[in-house]
Structure 1
Amino acid sequence: MTIGLIIFDCDGVLVDSEPLAIRVLIEAIAAQGITLDMADAYRDYLGRSLASISASLHDSHGEPLGQAALESMRHDLYALYRKELRASPGLKEALGALRIPVCVASSSHLERIRISLEITGLTDFFEPHIFSASMVENGKPAPDLFLHAASEMGVEPSRCLVIEDSPAGISAAHAAGMRVFAYTGGSHIGPGNLLPLIQGRAPTRTFSDMRELPRLVAELDAADRALLVAVDVGTGSARAGVFTREGKLLGRAEQPIELHWPDANHAEHSSEQIWASACIAVRNALALAKADPTQVVGLSFDATCSLVVRDKSGHPLTVAADGNDHWDTIVWFDHRSLAEAAECTETGNLVLDYIGGVMSPEMQVPKLMWLKRNLPKTWEKAGYFFDLADFLTWKATGSLARSQSTLVCKWTFLAHTRPGWQSEFLEAVGLDDLVERGSLPDAASPVGSSAGTLTREAAEALGLTENCRVGIGLIDAHAGALGVLGAFAGDEDTLDRHLGLVAGTSSCVMALSGEPRPIPGVWGPYYGAVLPGAWLNEAGQSAAGAVLDYVLRAHRAGGEPTAALHKAVADRIVQLREREGPAMAGRLHILPDFHGNRSPQGNPDALGVISGLTLDTDFDSLCRLYWRAAVSIALGLRHILDTLGERGYSTKTLYVTGGHVHSKLLMELYADVTGCEIVVPDSDAVLLGTAMVAATAAGLYPSLNKAAVAMHRDGPVRLPNPEAKPRYDRDYRVFREMIRHRDAIDAIDREQNLKP
């Protein structure tokens, strides 16, 4: 948002009048028998109108300034002005260099403003655009005066820049939705000890030399024009989005990626093909946004927690049973390492306390154990192990930094302790050479820190410039959490009142808090995985949308789970519910753990269960099964929310992003089954979260928290239907009873040494 108007305060900004005004004020108050220290006068009355000061004195001392005192003050002040008042050094030079409309908005009376400008030779720069607090109902720190000035000048508040010197004025600018530069070059700043108060109001910029103002405005204007690129790599595609610094999405593109899935527990990607798809997506997004690549100042990546393996020269190494080096990446949902995950859990090591007590095969340690045991040649040749997001950062910059998001959540790295790597655990599972062989760092890099700028090769591939800075990225679900929960990043004390749901092929519920909250069956607590200093609990469903895909594939009346088939089934469900009523297929019950239970049971061996099938195989029977599978996904989410609620998290509001936001069916169920208010941001929250990371690395914001608050996008709210509650309460009772029965059956199977 480019600057369209600069609003100058007068006293202490345009003219060095504050010491003169404070001197007169103290003398006038003393004449009424009130003693006021100079430092107190600066702190309490700087930047305020005489009427406001008089009211304040009435409140504090029961003695307002009378009309005679006010008139005497004006007379004495104007006489002093004519003797001693000067324009701020370098101001006329700065005003001559600015090419943006300017005006004055001061707490002083209009007569005083005009006299100040006339005495100092500034009138021609501002006349007739001079505004006084006498023109509005409320003076500073209320926003009325600045909003009045913007309205009269015909400029939106968001396009206004205020130049202020007082804490009250800075607060007024913030309240008006304007950016504000704090000028600290006035001779009153030191004697009034105002600098800490000014800095405490968090101005956009602080400066002390008026000659610097044109350059600072130009830099701000350039930053306003700056663009950001976010890349999100999921299971089936790479997506790219172009954003403004305010978080507005200008263009988005998607490019498919290959998935090699030879059996139910093995799945592989090609990292080179992923990089190529990401580059195509970025170029297409830039074209759709009609963006100038030279304006893109920041880029970052999020990705699934897939494992990339490279040799010592950085070339792909096979992770596939067929030995093809093209497949060098184990996909996040790959479950080949179930046995290795169980071994990790059996160690009872400290690291388990920070992953929910149970090692998942979706984490990197068991995958690496499997790799070392089953593909020893790959292990011996290996020189680099990457989480996918870190691999993309490496391809873009050459940096071997690893994100705190990835290391803490998937590699058993403990960022809150020193050392972060727990060597006794790695030795216990046979990975004592992991850190050295994988070129892994001793410390994790915070999300949003800079990995450097693009290499020439990467810049050419992406269609960007070598000046573009790359931010240390994060896991895709964590980017979604940042995108939906960013509005609350400024207040650690209330973080736990808001939960994020990233819902797609799988689902993740993200819960942030200011302190660690270990929860059995829930991943984490992870330190600094999303926001600096915050702890993350991540509860999830290993299969969510994947369950609905499975139903379509498995049923005789189904087929490949295309978008068209999903829509046809959803449309028919609407018709069947209208005909058969709310209790449609009410005796059909499903446990959706077809790929294990990530949360809250933390059981990767859990199996899906369907109760209530008949011999029907027509299309309507498929629709009924699909409907109840969707209900079961929502019931699984409710089970997770109940578990989080028991540990102090609020479960009243759920902020949702991911592919499921496009399903009216699932969004209805998420509200009605859980009883939560459902909020859907008006932007792609995963890409937005990654854009926040890029903005931080580019220096557009001083911290990731500030970027998240500034770029957050609100969205509509869906309320639960209270009439549906009894029905879904019954379904939930059945759901919990089915879990109990499944556990009992598993216990019987274990007696017979049957593998789950």
Structure 2
Amino acid sequence: MQSEKLEPVNYYVGIDVGTASVRAALVDQFGTVVAYEDHPVKIWAPQPDHYEQSSDDIWAACCTVTKKVTQGINIAQIRGLGFDATCSLVVLDSHFQPLAVNSEGKCNRNVIMWMDHRAAKQVARINETQHSVLCFVGGSMSVEMQPPKLLWLKENLQASCWEKAGYFFDLPDFLSWKATGVTARSLCTLVCKWTYSSEKGWDDSFWKLIGLEDLIADKYAKIGNEVLAPGAPVGNGLTSEAAKDLGLSKGIAVAASLIDAHAGGIGMIGTNVKGYNLPCENQSIASRIAVICGTSSCHMGISESPVFVPGVWGPYYSAMVPEFWLNEGGQSVTGKLIDHVVRGHTAFPELQTKAAASAQSIYTYLNGHLDLIKKSLPVGFLTVDLHVWPDFHGNRSPLADLTLKGMVVGLTLSQGLDDLALIYLATIQAIALGTRHIVETMQAAGHHVNTMFMCGGLSKNPLFVQMHADITGMPVVLAQEVESVLMGAAILGACASKDFVSLQDAMEKMGRVGRVVLPNHKDKRFYDKKYQVFLKLMEHQQEYKAIMQTV
């Protein structure tokens, strides 16, 4: 009997540059992650609110992880490469060499990170202009976007940086340039972080009004005058130099990139959900919201027509899913906040010791400890008199108020492990309540979302996921492959390779449902009360600020 000849499997590499590490995955055409690697990248924090990185260090990490995930694979079967990254600002001179973004003149530190808030004064002045482009960023630009950072460089590093700069790249676009030698930018980055309009292009009047008219002189060559849709092939694919660096074949397709959160959206929001009895099953993809939660969290909602949501970025046309408008809510710190609260507690050394002794992560141990102290109550009810407002790094959405601070109400003199577990739980609940605040604001403006798709590091924490389901009242869908951001990057590479009809086709065929977490509707009244308190905390903080301004 003649054996049937098997068709060779096609593979795609997805590379994700996160806040503190670079990760890569080798993904097959069926959406299975075959190999995964990560590698840390350096962060410099020379002064408060200043966070810097090195583009050379980041690229070297990309090369390291890519070579590892492709070991033992016939590289001729690797058909495409996709990048995503944080929306950090990369500065190069006219010869593509790194330029210092600091007063110390350290050229290796040429990246202003997304979470850098040095441009607070500049963004306040930009928002005072009330220019019409601000309507597409929720009415108020964030300090984490690129125009205020560019203005800061011009005003603070005029001679050493601004005048010498040849190219300002969003980090995802720097990576596609490094791979292909083509300076084309992704529509995603320019629309979401630079005020580019997918319909009208750059608005000269905005740049003149904020004092950056010099960017117009060369027809925006420094910030991007060739724009590609996410997933479109860039140039002639991988250059011979980049192929050697990455251990891949010259000429394989390289996709126009995405911001990391948007890659997470691409990796899961188009998944086929038939048979899971979800409210979104027979509805438009616009009934889904993607929540990408790691160091920070992003909330991605799409619509067939533009929806303007106060304090929520967008609407951006085709910035994530082609031919859909995107709104992007966000929380500036989530994973970082949980880590800050837990590691700063007096009982943290005890937690470390006990978690290590039981061979568990500190968060798995804390979740188990909460189960021990809950007695007959649902675990969430333990915080009936402990409340947190989570904006320790300002509010991105839906209030767009950089000046807001964190709040904790209900502290006692207790310093033990029980106390640490409770503040940990209250912080997770506060983040979930913040998500509810964003979702309800989007729904009030015209979005019709009913199902949450969640990915990122925090989605691996079952308590975090359950609190989001219970507090929003929506089912949470977790992908079969937990690394949805990397899946999104690989889907970009698959789209660029032309192995799929469209980006949506690749999304549907490569994304798969893993698990569905349903809300405990019987606890709804408790969480409605917690939400009332949550909103009161915000009102009170604003009242306190008003009182102190009269001093």
Q: Same fold (TM over 0.5)?
A: yes
Among 366, 370, 374, the alignment partner of 1:569 is 366
**Residue in 1 aligned with 2:345?**
555
What does residue range 95-494 of structure 1 map to in structure 2 within 5 Å? 221=7, 225-287=9-71, 290-376=72-158, 377-417=160-200, 420-434=201-215, 436=218, 439-451=222-234, 452-487=236-271, 494=284
Mapped to 1, the partners of 2:350 and 2:204 lie a distance apart of 46
- In structure 2, relative to structure 1, the CA distance for the partners of 1:679 and 1:294 (3 Å cut) is same
Among 675, 689, 705, the alignment partner of 2:504 is 705
Higher mean C-alpha deviation, range 492-501 or range 244-253 = 492-501
Q: Is the 8 A contact 2:270 2:285 kept in 1?
A: no
- In structure 2, relative to structure 1, the CA distance for the partners of 1:475 and 1:410 (3 Å cut) is same
- In structure 2, relative to structure 1, the CA distance for the partners of 1:707 and 1:560 (3 Å cut) is farther
Q: Is the 8 A contact 1:692 1:704 kept in 2?
A: yes
The DSSP-based 3-state class of the residue aligned with 1:605 is coil
Mapped to 1, the partners of 2:197 and 2:349 lie a distance apart of 45
What is the CA-CA distance between 1:323 and the residue it aligns to? 2.1
What is the CA-CA distance between 1:276 and the residue it aligns to? 0.5
- Structure 2: runs of 5+ lacking an equivalent: 274-280, 353-359
Mapped to 2, the partners of 1:443 and 1:100 lie a distance apart of 50
Mapped to 2, the partners of 1:750 and 1:445 lie a distance apart of 47
**CA offsets per residue over residues 98-131 of structure 1, 9 Å max, x none?**
x997xxxxxxxxxxxxxxxxxxxxxxxxxxxxxx
Q: TM-score, normalising length from structure 2?
A: 0.92
Among 513, 519, 531, the alignment partner of 1:720 is 519
Q: Is the 8 A contact 2:115 2:144 kept in 1?
A: yes
**CA offsets per residue over residues 708-749 of structure 1, 9 Å max, x none?**
222221221111112221211111110011111111122223
Amino acid corresponding to residue 571 of structure 1 in structure 2: G
Q: TM-score, normalising length from structure 1?
A: 0.67
Amino acid corresponding to residue 409 of structure 1 in structure 2: C
- Structure 1: runs of 5+ lacking an equivalent: 1-98, 102-154, 160-220
Q: 1:508 aligned to 2:298? A: yes
Mapped to 1, the partners of 2:165 and 2:370 lie a distance apart of 51
**Residue in 2 aligned with 1:54?**
none
- In structure 2, relative to structure 1, the CA distance for the partners of 1:579 and 1:557 (3 Å cut) is farther
**Residue in 2 aligned with 1:693?**
492
Amino acid corresponding to residue 594 of structure 1 in structure 2: F
The DSSP-based 3-state class of the residue aligned with 1:229 is strand
**CA offsets per residue over residues 130-179 of structure 1, 9 Å max, x none?**
xxxxxxxxxxxxxxxxxxxxxxxxx9xxx8xxxxxxxxxxxxxxxxxxxx
Mapped to 2, the partners of 1:557 and 1:657 lie a distance apart of 30
Amino acid corresponding to residue 391 of structure 1 in structure 2: F
What is the CA-CA distance between 1:620 and the residue it aligns to? 2.2
Amino acid corresponding to residue 647 of structure 1 in structure 2: A
Mapped to 2, the partners of 1:750 and 1:609 lie a distance apart of 19
What is the CA-CA distance between 1:687 and the residue it aligns to? 1.1
Select the structure of larger CA radius of gyration.
Answer: 1
Q: 1:528 aligned to 2:318? A: yes
Q: Is the 8 A contact 2:367 2:463 kept in 1?
A: yes
What is the CA-CA distance between 1:237 and the residue it aligns to? 0.7
**Residue in 2 aligned with 1:612?**
410
The DSSP-based 3-state class of the residue aligned with 1:385 is strand
Q: Is the 8 A contact 1:358 1:602 kept in 2?
A: yes
Q: Is the 8 A contact 1:364 1:410 kept in 2?
A: yes
Q: Is the 8 A contact 2:341 2:423 kept in 1?
A: yes
Q: Is the 8 A contact 1:448 1:704 kept in 2?
A: yes
**Residue in 2 aligned with 1:676?**
474
What is the CA-CA distance between 1:443 and the residue it aligns to? 4.2
What is the CA-CA distance between 1:558 and the residue it aligns to? 2.6
What does residue range 537-556 of structure 1 map to in structure 2 within 5 Å? 537-556=327-346
- In structure 2, relative to structure 1, the CA distance for the partners of 1:675 and 1:727 (3 Å cut) is same
What is the CA-CA distance between 1:429 and the residue it aligns to? 0.9
The DSSP-based 3-state class of the residue aligned with 2:452 is strand
Amino acid corresponding to residue 335 of structure 2 in structure 1: G
Q: 1:659 aligned to 2:461? A: no
Amino acid corresponding to residue 430 of structure 2 in structure 1: S
Q: Is the 8 A contact 2:257 2:492 kept in 1?
A: yes
- In structure 2, relative to structure 1, the CA distance for the partners of 1:581 and 1:446 (3 Å cut) is closer
Q: Is the 8 A contact 1:492 1:534 kept in 2?
A: no
Amino acid corresponding to residue 411 of structure 2 in structure 1: L
Mapped to 2, the partners of 1:577 and 1:561 lie a distance apart of 18
Mapped to 2, the partners of 1:299 and 1:564 lie a distance apart of 33
Higher mean C-alpha deviation, range 567-576 or range 722-731 = 567-576
Mapped to 2, the partners of 1:293 and 1:561 lie a distance apart of 45
- In structure 2, relative to structure 1, the CA distance for the partners of 1:560 and 1:312 (3 Å cut) is farther
Mapped to 2, the partners of 1:492 and 1:369 lie a distance apart of 47
Amino acid corresponding to residue 444 of structure 1 in structure 2: V
Q: Is the 8 A contact 2:40 2:61 kept in 1?
A: yes
Q: 1:499 aligned to 2:299? A: no
Q: Is the 8 A contact 2:267 2:511 kept in 1?
A: yes
**Residue in 2 aligned with 1:77?**
none
Mapped to 1, the partners of 2:272 and 2:199 lie a distance apart of 23
Amino acid corresponding to residue 425 of structure 1 in structure 2: F
Amino acid corresponding to residue 421 of structure 1 in structure 2: W
The DSSP-based 3-state class of the residue aligned with 2:257 is strand
Q: Is the 8 A contact 1:310 1:316 kept in 2?
A: yes
- In structure 2, relative to structure 1, the CA distance for the partners of 1:679 and 1:270 (3 Å cut) is same
What is the CA-CA distance between 1:506 and the residue it aligns to? 0.7
Amino acid corresponding to residue 166 of structure 2 in structure 1: G
Task: State, as a whole percentage, how many aligned pairs show the same letter.
Answer: 39
Mapped to 1, the partners of 2:361 and 2:101 lie a distance apart of 34
Structure scoring higher RCO (CA < 8 A, sep ≥ 6) equals 2
Q: Return the structure number with greater helix share.
A: 1
What is the CA-CA distance between 1:567 and the residue it aligns to? 3.4
Total equivalences in the alignment? 530
